[in-house]
Structure 1
Amino acid sequence: MKRTYEERTKKRCLIDALKILAILFTIIAVMIGIELLVEGLTVVKDLTVNFETEPMGVSTESEPHFSWNMSSKVKGQAQKTYEIRIFEGEDGSGNPIWTSGEVESGDTMYIRAEGLILEKEKRYSWRVYVQPTWGWKVVSKAATFVTETDFSETDWIIPIQEDNKVSLVRTQAEIRRMTIREAYLYITAMGNYRAYVEGKEVRGTGGSQTVLAPGLTDYNHTVTYQTYDVTENFRDNLFDNKATIGIALSKGWYGDDHGESSLYEAAFGPDDSVCEMGTAVRLILRYADGTTQTISTGSSGWYSGNYSGVEIGGIKGMIETDVPDGATAGISEEAAEESGESGEENSEDTPSAMTRRIGPVSCMIDNRAAAVTQGWTGDDYIEQVDKWTGVTIARYGGTIVPSYAGTARIADEYEQKYETAYCYHEADISDVGSAGRPYGEALRHEPNTVEKEKDAIRLVPGEKLICDFGKYLSGQVDVTVSGEAGTVITLTYAERLNEGPSEDELTAEETDGRAEISGEGSEDGTAGGDAAETAEEPDGPIGSIRLDGAVTNIYVLGGDEEEEFFPRETYQGYRYVEIETDEILTIRKITGKVFTSQGRKTGEIRTSNDDINRIIESIAVNRLANDVSVPNRSVRSGEREGSLTFAQILELTDLYTADTRAFFDHFIATVQEQGRQTEGIYGLTAPLAEAEDNMNVAGGSDAGIIIPWQLYQMTGNTAVLEEHFNDMATYMNRVYTESYEIPLNGDFLAIAGTSGKYMAEIYRMYDTEIMQKVSEALEREDFAAAYEERLVQFREDFMNKYLDEEGNILSASADGLTEDKDGTPIVDNSQTALFWALKLGLFRNEDQRVNMLANLVSGINNPGSMLRPGDAEDTLNVGLLGIGVALPVLSEYGYTDLACDLLKTKDYPSWLYDLDHEGAGRNPYGYAMDSVGEWMYRYLAGIAPDPERPGLTHIILQPAVDSGRTLTSVKASYESMAGTIRSGWDASGGKIRSYTCEVPANAAATLYLPISKEQADSMRVPRGAEYTGTEKRNGQTCAVYELISGTYRFRVPME
C-alpha cells in the first residue's frame, strides 16, 4: 500500500528526531565520561591541622588552621572554591558541627576555622569539598584530630626514686562493663616516660612508637604532654571491669647533667636540691551511652616501685657501676634471692666473682631484678607490699602544653640490619702496628654460627663481636639473646674503627691545627687521633676518641629462653657496635633502630655523580640522627641540646629533606619563650644548656629571627610571624642598644678567621633586613619603615668601615686584629667575610663587586697552593658562619661550576674528605656541612620559593647546570605544602640539553632556563608554558617561561 506524502514526511521527521536525540545522548555520555575522567584524575590530599597529619591534642582555645593540596593529571587544574566541613566522630559523616560554607578562593593552606567551638577530649573528623576549574566537585577522604585536655585539676605525683634507677608507677581502677567508643591517654612527665595501658605500650599516630617523651623543654617554665588513642586496648572490656595504667620514669634531659646545668632542681617537687621525677596522667573513657569516666593521677590508688631492673643516667648522663661477671649486679640482695640468684653461688671457682669496673656506662638492664615485677603493666598483677609504696603529691608552677613535635619516634622505615660482622680476641691484636695502624691490627675471624640456626651467632668469653651497620645511625641496637642467668653482656657504640695515627705522629702540615678544630681527645690505646688522609682503616677495636659521654650498655640475663634488650630512654650515635660476654652467649637478632623527630621523607635528589650522591645520602642520615626533640649540634659529641647556630644553618636543608615543619614550629616557640623570660636574650642553646649560654651572640642567637623567617618562606604561614613578632622586635631592640657579646671567635672553627665585630655588623644588618620584610608581610608599615631606615644607615656605616675603594673587605685590619682568641689567624678578604658581603650586596659599584668576586674565586681556587700555603686547591677555609652561605652565593653570582668543584674535591677540608674518613667530625664544620642540602635543592635542581609569594604556591624553577662537567644530570622532587614539585635536567658538554619539571595542581611557576635567546626562539614551547623573553638571573642568561600546573619537558636545541 502506497504511503501518502504526509505519512512519508512524518516518518522522515521521526527518523531525523531520533538521530538528533541519539547525537544528543552521545554528546551527553561523552561529556559525562569526560567529567568522570577528569574527576578521577584530580585528588584532594595531604590534609593537615596545624602542620600535622591527624594530630592529637589540638587546642580548643585557639582556632586551628587547616591545609590540603591537590594532585591532578589535568594541566592547569586549579581550585575555584572550597568548603571545609567538620564532624564529630572519625568517619566524616552525618551533620557537620561547623562548615566554612562554599568559599570562592584558591587558598589551600592555613585556613582558620573562625567561630569553631570544639569540646575537649574528643575526636573530630573533617573533609574538604573542592570545585576545580575542570570537572565536578572533588571530596577528600576524611581526616581526624583529637582535642586537648585540661591538667589544671590533675595532681602531679612523685614516685619512689633511687639514684639512676628507672621508677615504676601504676594504678588499677574499676570501669564499667560497656563498650568503650573512645579512650585517650593524656600524659606528661618530669623526666622521660614509657606508658602502658592494659599491658600494652601506647603508640602515636599511625602506630608509630614514641620515645624520649615528653621531649626537651625549659622545665622551669614549660612541659609538653602527649595524647594517645588507646581505644583498641579496651576492645575486650565487656568481660573486664578493670583499667590498668603503668608508667616507667627515667631521668631524660630533665634529670641528667643537662638538667643540673640548666638549674631544673627547683622546677618541680618539694626538694629543690635535686631534679625529682614525676608524672601527671589523665585517661578518658567514653562509653557507648555517651557517658565518660576519667582516671587521673592522685594520692589514692597509685603505687610506685624501683624494681625495674634498669639504671640509666638520662640522655647525656652516665652511671658508674660495679659489674661482677656472672654475679648479682645492680640489684638488691632481696631482689636477687627473689629471682633465685645469689652472688655467693659462683664466687669461689671462677674469677667471675671478681668485680670489674666498666665506665662510662649509659644504661644497665638486669633482667633478674626485672623478674620481680614481671607483668606489672597488666590487669592481673598484684602489688607486693614490700616492693611497692605510695606516691607523693606535687605541684608544678609552669605551663603544660600539648605537643608531639618535641618527642621522637622509632622510624621503622629506616631500621638497619648489620651489613658485616667479625670477631677478634684481645690476645690476637698485634702490638707492633704499622705507619697506618700504630695501635696494632686485630686478627679477624668469622663469627661462630649456631647449628640449624642460620642467623644466630655463638659468642664465647674473651671474644669480641663487631657489627658494622654500614651507615651512621642514631638510636639504639635491639638485640635478642639466649644464655645462662647472670651472664653479663656489654655493648659499646662507636662511629669508627681504631682511628689510625695519633696526633703526635702526624706532621705539622698534616695537623695544622686540625686537632683543635676537630675537637680531638687523647688516644687511649684502642683508638687513635686524627687520621692523615693517607692512613688506612685499622682492623682493630672500635674507636672511641670522639665519643663524648657514655657509650656502653650493660645487660644481665635473667635466664629466659630468649631475652630482648632494647633500651629506649636514651640514644647513641653509631655505625659500629662491639659486643662481648662473660659466658657463652647465643645472639639471635641484632637490629639497628633509628630515633628521630623528623616526619616522612619529603625530598629526593639524585645526580650522575656517585660521590655527590654519597653526600646526599649522608645528609639524609645525619639529619635524621640529629633532629631529636630539638635540633642537636651532634649526637656523637654528646651535645644533645638545641643549638641555635646549627638550627638556623640547617633548617632549610631539614625542610627540604623531611617533614620538619611542626618540629621547627615547636622549636622556635621554645626559643621565643626563652627570649621572653630573659627580656630579649635568645642565647646559644634552647632551652639553655648552660648558664653561660645566656647571651646574644652573632650567628647564634639570631636564630630567633632567622628560623621563623625561613619557615615562613617555605610554608607561607604568616601565623609563624604574627605569633612571634613582638618577641622578635624585643630581641632586635636589645641588639640595637647593647649589641652582641663576642665570647667566641668571629667565625667559629674557621681556618682563616674573620673579626667578631665584622660578623656582628653582618648579622645585625641581616636581621634588620629580615625584620623589614616580616613587617611588610604583616602589613606593619610603621615597623617596616623604621627597620628600612636603620638598614640604610647600617649598610652605609658598614661600607665606610670595612670596604675600601677597590672592593677589598677589611675583615681584620678595620678592627686592628691579626688573630682570634684561640690563635686562629684573622685576615682581610676572608672567605666568610666575602661570602656575606656578596650575599647582602655590600658594595657601591660594579667594579667593587667584580673585585670582591675575583678575590673570592682566586682564594678558593688557590692555584698551586700559592695564595693559601698548606691548603689544597679548590677548598674552603670558612668557619661555621660561612659554610651555609658559601655555595648559594657562588651560584647566585654564576659560579655553580666552582660550587660543584668544591663538592667533588677530596682534599681537606671538604665533604668527600669527611665521608672518606667515615664522616665522624673530621671537618671543622661538623654537621653544619649538611647545609649544602639546601643548595642542592634550591640551586642545583632549581626548586625555590618565590620570595614575593612564599609557600611554593608560586615556584621559582632555575636549574643550575655545571659547566665544569662534573655533573651531567640531576633529578629532584619535593613534597611541599602545595604538592609535589619535580625538577630535573640532563646536560652534555657543560650545556643543558633537556629539562623536565612538574608543577602541582593549583600552583604556578616561573622557569628560568639557562639557554640563549637563539635557542629559546627556535625551541618548541610545551603546552601550558608561555615564553616571555630572556633575562639575566643568578649570573646566567635565562629564557623565562610562565608555567601553569602540569608536567613539562623542554628539549633544548644545540647552539
Structure 2
Amino acid sequence: MNPSSLMPRFTAVFAFLIFASVAGFSQKIAVEDLTVEHLVNPFTIDDAHPRFSWKIVSSVKNTMQTSYEIRVGLNESIEKKQVWSTKENNDQSVLIPYSGADLKSNTRYYWQVRVKDNHGNTSKWSTVQFFQTGLKTEDWVSNWVTVAGNDTAASSPMIRKEFNVSKKVRNAMAFITSKGLYEAHLNGNRISDHYFAPGWTSYKDHIQYQAYDLTNLLKTGWNAFGISLGNGWYKGNIGFAGQNKFYGDTRALLFQLEVTYTDGTKEIFITDDTWKSANGPILYSDIYNGETYDARQEQPGWDRVGFKGNSSWKAVRIIPKGNEKLVGMSGPPVRKHETFKPVKIFKTPLGETVVDFGQNLVGWVMLNAKGASGTKISISHAEVLDKAGNFYTTNLRSAKQTNQYILKGNVAQIFEPHFSFQGFRYVKIDGYPGELTADALTAVALYSDMNTTGTFTSSNALINQLQHNIQWGQKGNFVDVPTDCPQRDERLGWTGDAQAFANTAAFNMDVAGFFTKWMKDVSADQLENGSVPYVVPNVLTKRDAGSAGWADVATIIPWDMYLAYGDKGILSAQYPSMKKWVDYISSVAKNDLWNTGSHFGDWLFYRPNDDNDGRAAVTDKYMIAQTFYAHSTQLLINAARVLGKNDEVSKYEALLKRSKQAYVNENMTANGKLASNTQTAYVLALQFDMLPEANRKQAAERLVQNIRDYGNHLTTGFLGTPYLCHVLSKFSYDNVAYDLLMQESYPSWLYPVKMGATTIWERWDGIKQDGTFQTADMNSFNHYAYGAIGDWMYKNIAGINPVAENPGYKEILIAPKPGGKLSSATGELQTVYGKVKSSWTLQNGVFKLDVSVPPNSTATVLLPNTDRKEKIGSGDYHFEYKY
C-alpha cells in the first residue's frame, strides 16, 4: 500500500464523558474510585500491608501521574489522628502497599490520596475512604453454638437472642460466620443483601466470616437478633456421588457484636448458651434439590424484641472450636441482580403449566400466592424444553431443583428460597391456586457482585448474542466459586473450566477479588506432593488429581490476573503453589517427559459420527500433558522474574528447555508432523512454543489445512478451544479465525446461538440438529468453558490487549483486526486505570478507528492493513484512512 494514501486524522477529541466526569472541579485533575485490596471500604482486611489503588480523572491529554501522597488516620479528619503518610515521586496508582507502623486488628482506618501530574496540576485530596482490619484469633471471644441435641433435623433452625444496648451507640460491628449457611436478621429485618454467606471455601482449612456495620440499625435499649442456618455446601448434598455431611454433620453459628458507645466505653455481645433455637418454616433446604417452606410453621416476631416463643425453643449447645482458621471475606458477596418477568405462560403437550423467562439464568423465582391453608405449590426448574415442547429435566441427573411452598390461610404471601439456588430458563408450576399470571412470578439472578468492566458489540447480531451468552454463562457460574454448571448435581469448582475462561472473565467483569479468594482455596486444597485436585474446593478426594490443563490452574490464573490487574501480590501469594505444581510434574516425569497419570485430555472435543478417513480429532493425552508442563514452567519463570527470584529463573529455564526437547523427540517427525494430527495438537504446540522455530510455519499450515478439511469447522475441546483463534492470528491467519467464528453449522460457536441458546453450552451439540439431546448425564446448557472465545474477540476484533512488561493496562496495545464481513466493532474495558475503548467501522473502503486511553496509561496503536504504529497517551483519538 502506498503510504501516501493514508489519511490519518487523529484529532484529540476529548469526549463529553471525560468532561462530564470532572464537572464541578476547578482544577484539571482529580482522583476517584479508591479501593483497598480491590474492594471499596472493606471491613475484613487481614493483610498486614493492605494496598491502595485509585483512578485519575483529567481533562488534559497525555496525562501521567508524577507523584502521589497518601495519608491514613484513625478518623475522618485524618490530619487530626494521622498514623501514616507517604509521598512518592512516581506514576504508580495501583496496589500501593501500606508501609507504616503495624496496624491494629479490628480497627477502622481512614485514608485519602492526592496526586500531581506531568502538566503541573495537583488534585484536591480525594474523598475520605476507609478500611477495617479483621479479627485475629485472640479477638474472637465468642462461642460456636448449635441446636440442643444432635443436629439431625432436615429443617433449618432459627437461633435468637435479645440484647440490651444501654447507651447511645457510636459504632457497632457484627462479625458472623457459620458452619453451613446463615441469614441474619436484626429487629425483624435482614442485616444485609448478601446471600449464601459465609461463602464456600476449603472449610477444613479456613472459613470466612463477614463483618456488618450495624451502627445505624441498633436501637438504644433492647434489640433482637434472629439467625437461620442452612445446610449449604457444608452439610448438604455435594458432588455427584451422593455424598453429604462432607465437611461436618453439625450446623453451627458464631456471632460477635462489638459496640462502642459515645462515652467511649465498649461492650461485646456473643453467642453462648443463653441463645435459644427452634425449628422454623424452612422444612428442607439443599443446594441441588431446592427448598420446602411451610408458611404455617412461621413464628411471627421470632426475630423481634418481645417474642415469647413456645416450648419448642430450647437453649443452644456450645460446641468446641475446630482446627479451621477464621479469615476475613476477601471476595465479593453474592447479591441479587437482574430480574425477569415471564415472556410466556403456556401448557405443554403433556398438559403441564410452564413459564418461560426468556433467559437461562441462575438464581430463583419469587412467587406471589394466596390460597387455602395447606395448599402446596411446587416450582420445578429446567433449562430447555424437549423436541416435543415438554419440560425437560433428565440432564439434571439426581438434582431435583424444586422449591415447594405450603400456604397459610388466605393471606397474600411472597415466597423465595433462602439457602438454595437454581439454574433455569423454564419453570413448571404445580398446585397454584387460581389463575397463574405473569404478575405472580419474577425470576431473580444471583451471582457474585462483580462490576461489569467490559462490553463488546459488532455489526453481526449472532456474534452479539454469542457475547451475551458468554456474559450470562459467567454470571450463572460465578456464584462464590467458579462452577462448571449451575443446575445439575455437580456445581463444582472445576479447575480446567476456570483456567480456560479466566482471561475472558477478566474482560467481562472485575474478577480480581473473586479469583484472589478462590486461589487461596486452590493452595489450601493442593496435595502435599504438589498435585492439584480436579475441583476446588475439593470434594472429590477419592479421585486421582493432577490432570493436565486442570491442575495447571495453579500457574495460569495467577499469571492471568497479574496481566489483567497488575497485581504482583497474587503472584507472590500463589508462587509457592505454582512451584509445588511444577515440581510435582517433574517428580513424576521420566526423562523430562510427562507420560504418566490420569488426564482428561481435550475434554469434549468433536467426535464425528462416522470418521472413516482416519481424521478423528483425538489428541494424545500425554502429548497434551507435555505442552502444559512446559506452559506451567514458563509461567513459573515469568513469575520468578517479576518477584526477583533470579536463581529459580535459571533453574526452571533449564527445565523448560529439556521439556520442550523431550516433546519434540517424542511427538514430532523429522518433517515436522505431529504424532496426533489434530487441531488441538497443533494449537497447543504453537501456543506454547513447543516446536523449533523452523517448524512452526509448517505446523500452522497443517493446522489451517485441518480446519479446511473439516469444512471450516473446529474440532477442539476444553483445552484446545481457548487458544485456537489466538494461534491462527499469531501466524497471520485471521481470515481462518474469522471463518471459524462465523461458522453457523455444527460444530461451531454460533451453532448453539442459531439453536436459541442464551448461555454457553457444555457440548458443541447439546441439542442436536434433529432436535434431540446429547447424552443426558452430561449435557449442561450453562457451561462457560467454550465462551473462552471472548478473549480473542476483545483482543483481536476490538483489539484491546494488556502488555506483559507493563501489566494491568498501564501500557495498552490497540490492534484491531477487521474481518468476517464485519462493518463495525466496539470494545470497552474499565481497567484499574480507567476506561479503554477501541471502536472501528469499515465502510466504502474507509476505515475509522476511535480510541480512548485512560489517564496514567499509554497505548500503542497498530493500524490494520498498514505498517503504521502510533504511540499515544491518555485522551480520545480518531484515525481514518482508505483501507
Same fold (TM over 0.5): yes
**Whole-angstrom distance in 1 between the partners of 2:638 and 2:763:** 38
**Whole-angstrom distance in 1 between the partners of 2:132 and 2:183:** 21
Q: Secondary structure at the match of 1:284?
A: strand
Say whether residues 1:169 and 2:159 are aligned partners: yes
The code of the aligned residue for 1:632 comes to T
Query: Which residue of 44, 50, 53 corresponds with 1:67?
Result: 53
The code of the aligned residue for 1:314 comes to D
* Correspondence for 1:570: 420
**Whole-angstrom distance in 2 between the partners of 1:807 and 1:266:** 50
- Answer yes or no: is the 8 Å Cα contact 1:76–1:1044 preserved in 2: yes
- Answer yes or no: is the 8 Å Cα contact 2:697–2:731 preserved in 1: no
Say whether residues 1:928 and 2:856 are aligned partners: no
**Whole-angstrom distance in 2 between the partners of 1:683 and 1:150:** 30
Q: Which runs of 5+ in 1 are unaligned?
A: 1-34, 204-208, 268-273, 319-361, 430-440, 443-462, 501-537, 812-828, 863-867, 1013-1037
Cα deviations by residue, 1:654-697 (Å, 9 ceiling, x for unpaired)? 1110111100001111101112x533121111111212345111
* Correspondence for 1:466: 354
Q: Secondary structure at the match of 1:836?
A: helix
Q: 1:482 to 1:464 in 2, by over 3 A?
A: farther
Q: Secondary structure at the match of 1:57?
A: coil
Query: Which residue of 857, 870, 878 corresponds with 1:1041?
Result: 870
1:163 Cα deviation from its structure 2 partner: 3.3
Query: Which residue of 195, 198, 222 corresponds with 1:211?
Result: 195
Say whether residues 1:482 and 2:337 are aligned partners: no
Q: Secondary structure at the match of 2:789?
A: helix
**Whole-angstrom distance in 2 between the partners of 1:762 and 1:688:** 25
Q: 1:262 to 1:403 in 2, by over 3 A?
A: farther
**Whole-angstrom distance in 2 between the partners of 1:249 and 1:141:** 39
**Whole-angstrom distance in 2 between the partners of 1:266 and 1:571:** 19
1:845 Cα deviation from its structure 2 partner: 4.3
**Whole-angstrom distance in 2 between the partners of 1:81 and 1:137:** 11
**Whole-angstrom distance in 2 between the partners of 1:654 and 1:127:** 30
978-987 or 156-165, larger mean C-alpha shift: 156-165
| 1:118-517 → structure 2 map (5 Å cutoff) | 118-134=103-119, 135-150=121-136, 152-160=140-148, 161-176=151-166, 178-203=167-192, 209-234=193-218, 237-238=219-220, 241-258=221-238, 275-299=249-273, 301-306=274-279, 308-316=280-288, 318=289, 362-370=290-298, 373-405=299-331, 407-411=333-337, 414-422=338-346, 424=347, 441=349, 464-497=352-385, 499-500=386-387
- Answer yes or no: is the 8 Å Cα contact 2:236–2:244 preserved in 1: no
Query: Which one has more relative contact order, counting CA pairs under 8 Å at least 6 apart?
Result: 2
- Answer yes or no: is the 8 Å Cα contact 1:121–1:147 preserved in 2: yes
Q: Secondary structure at the match of 1:130?
A: strand
The code of the aligned residue for 1:961 comes to P
Determine what percentage of the aligned residue pairs are the same residue.
26
Query: Which residue of 590, 599, 602 corresponds with 1:747?
Result: 602
| 1:731-880 → structure 2 map (5 Å cutoff) | 731-739=581-589, 742-751=597-606, 752-811=617-676, 829-846=677-694, 848-862=695-709, 868=710, 873-880=711-718
* Correspondence for 1:507: none
* Correspondence for 2:457: 606
**Whole-angstrom distance in 1 between the partners of 2:308 and 2:106:** 31
**Whole-angstrom distance in 2 between the partners of 1:806 and 1:552:** 59
| 1:945-1024 → structure 2 map (5 Å cutoff) | 945-962=802-819, 964-965=820-821, 967-988=822-843, 993-1012=847-866
Cα deviations by residue, 1:513-536 (Å, 9 ceiling, x for unpaired)? xxxxxxxxxxxxxxxxxxxxxxxx
The code of the aligned residue for 2:871 comes to E
1:254 Cα deviation from its structure 2 partner: 0.7
* Correspondence for 1:1032: none
**Whole-angstrom distance in 1 between the partners of 2:450 and 2:23:** 35
* Correspondence for 1:941: 798
- Answer yes or no: is the 8 Å Cα contact 1:481–1:585 preserved in 2: no
Say whether residues 1:108 and 2:102 are aligned partners: no
Q: Secondary structure at the match of 1:855?
A: helix
Cα deviations by residue, 1:249-271 (Å, 9 ceiling, x for unpaired)? 0000011122897988585xxxx
Cα deviations by residue, 1:521-566 (Å, 9 ceiling, x for unpaired)? xxxxxxxxxxxxxxxxx4x332112223121111111125311111
* Correspondence for 1:328: none
- Answer yes or no: is the 8 Å Cα contact 1:746–1:758 preserved in 2: no
Cα deviations by residue, 1:589-641 (Å, 9 ceiling, x for unpaired)? 31111111141110011101000000011111110000011100011333211
**Whole-angstrom distance in 2 between the partners of 1:380 and 1:662:** 41
Q: Secondary structure at the match of 2:396?
A: coil
| 1:625-636 → structure 2 map (5 Å cutoff) | 625-636=476-487
Aligned residues: 821
The code of the aligned residue for 2:257 comes to L
Q: Secondary structure at the match of 2:403?
A: strand
* Correspondence for 2:777: none
The code of the aligned residue for 1:201 comes to R
The code of the aligned residue for 1:758 comes to M
1:698 Cα deviation from its structure 2 partner: 0.5
Cα deviations by residue, 1:853-873 (Å, 9 ceiling, x for unpaired)? 2221121123xxxxx5xxxx2
1:800 Cα deviation from its structure 2 partner: 2.0
* Correspondence for 1:1033: none
- Answer yes or no: is the 8 Å Cα contact 2:181–2:232 preserved in 1: yes
Say whether residues 1:552 and 2:402 are aligned partners: yes
Q: Secondary structure at the match of 2:286?
A: coil
- Answer yes or no: is the 8 Å Cα contact 2:145–2:316 preserved in 1: no
Q: Secondary structure at the match of 2:41?
A: coil
Q: Secondary structure at the match of 2:91?
A: coil
Q: Secondary structure at the match of 1:706?
A: helix
Structure whose alpha-carbon radius of gyration is higher? 1
The code of the aligned residue for 2:171 comes to E
- Answer yes or no: is the 8 Å Cα contact 1:742–1:756 preserved in 2: no
- Answer yes or no: is the 8 Å Cα contact 2:627–2:690 preserved in 1: no
Cα deviations by residue, 1:997-1052 (Å, 9 ceiling, x for unpaired)? 1111011111111233xxxxxxxxxxxxxxxxxxxxxxxxx411111111110111
The code of the aligned residue for 2:391 comes to I
- Answer yes or no: is the 8 Å Cα contact 1:598–1:658 preserved in 2: no
* Correspondence for 2:71: 85
**Whole-angstrom distance in 2 between the partners of 1:220 and 1:724:** 19
- Answer yes or no: is the 8 Å Cα contact 2:544–2:598 preserved in 1: no
Say whether residues 1:911 and 2:749 are aligned partners: yes
- Answer yes or no: is the 8 Å Cα contact 1:315–1:569 preserved in 2: yes
Q: Secondary structure at the match of 2:483?
A: strand
Cα deviations by residue, 1:281-327 (Å, 9 ceiling, x for unpaired)? 1111121112221111122x211111x111334223x3xxxxxxxxx
- Answer yes or no: is the 8 Å Cα contact 1:879–1:924 preserved in 2: no
Q: 1:150 to 1:382 in 2, by over 3 A?
A: farther
The code of the aligned residue for 2:689 comes to G
1:145 Cα deviation from its structure 2 partner: 2.1
Q: Secondary structure at the match of 2:363?
A: strand
The code of the aligned residue for 1:616 comes to Q
Q: 1:1011 to 1:228 in 2, by over 3 A?
A: same
The code of the aligned residue for 2:734 comes to T
**Whole-angstrom distance in 2 between the partners of 1:383 and 1:876:** 64
- Answer yes or no: is the 8 Å Cα contact 1:298–1:393 preserved in 2: no
* Correspondence for 2:82: 97
**Whole-angstrom distance in 2 between the partners of 1:251 and 1:694:** 27
**Whole-angstrom distance in 2 between the partners of 1:185 and 1:263:** 33
Q: Which runs of 5+ in 2 are unaligned?
A: 1-21, 607-616, 767-782
Cα deviations by residue, 1:417-455 (Å, 9 ceiling, x for unpaired)? 222223x2xxxx6xxxxxxxxxxx46xxxxxxxxxxxxx
Q: Secondary structure at the match of 1:193?
A: strand
**Whole-angstrom distance in 2 between the partners of 1:980 and 1:378:** 47
Q: 1:92 to 1:662 in 2, by over 3 A?
A: farther
The code of the aligned residue for 1:787 comes to Y
Superposition CA RMSD, Å = 2.3
